[in-house]
């Protein structure tokens, strides 16, 4: 079991120091998780510390590829409203 950091990571450094397993490391083009070290925080914390602190929706996913912080979960903006707003912006 291991989480994964994907391309939407903005390299903010927030997750690296909170990992109890030292599984997160700086890489190019974005931070990565060493899947051999990640324990999903089991035994240390009730929730995944990296996903709890990450400010970017969708940047950290579970072993099934599902985002811990799906669209709208941090901003409070419903995904369909966000899609409408983006379409509106792109039409100008
Ligand atoms: S889930 Fe826990 S152990 Fe795995 S990378 Fe995130 S903070 Fe580290
Ligand atoms: S907290 Fe999120 S955005 Fe920041 S470095 Fe970690 S994965 Fe990337």
- Write out pLDDT tens, residues 22-68: 999 999 999 999 999 999 999 999 999 999 999 999 999 999 999 99
In three-state secondary structure terms, 33 is strand
d(CA 75, CA 90): 20
Distance 24 CA to ligand 1 centre (A): 7
* pLDDT exceeds cutoff 90 at 92: no
The residue count of the chain comes to 92
- The preferred substitution site among 9, 32, 39, 61 for testing ligand 1, maximizing ligand atoms within 8 Å of CB, is 39
Measure the CA–CA gap between 92 and 73, rounded to whole angstroms.
Answer: 28
Work out the percent of the chain whose per-residue pLDDT is above 90.
96
16: phi then psi, degrees, rounded to nearest 5: -55, -50
Question: What residue's CA is closest to ligand 1, atom 6?
Answer: 50
Cα(59) to ligand 2 centroid in Å equals 7
What confidence tens digit (pLDDT) does each residue in 76-88 have? 999 999 999 999 9
Tokens 């941090």 correspond to 74
For the chain, what are the domain ranges?
Answer: 1-92
Query: Is residue 66 left, alpha or beta, with left meaning phi > 0 and alpha meaning psi from -120 to 50?
Result: beta
| pLDDT for position 14 | 98
- Topology of 1-92 in CATH? Alpha-Beta Plaits (3.30.70)
7 pLDDT tier (thresholds 50, 70, 90)? very high
């Amino acid at each position: 079991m291991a989480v994964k950091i994907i391309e939407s990571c903005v390299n903010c450094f927030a997750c690296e120091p909170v990992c109890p397993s030292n599984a997160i490391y700086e890489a190019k083009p974005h931070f990565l998780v060493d899947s051999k070290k990640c324990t999903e925080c089991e035994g240390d914390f009730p929730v995944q510390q990296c996903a709890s602190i990450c400010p970017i929706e969708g940047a950290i996913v579970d072993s099934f590829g599902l985002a811990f912080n799906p669209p709208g979960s941090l901003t409070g903006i419903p995904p369909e409203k966000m899609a409408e707003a983006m379409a509106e912006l792109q039409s100008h």
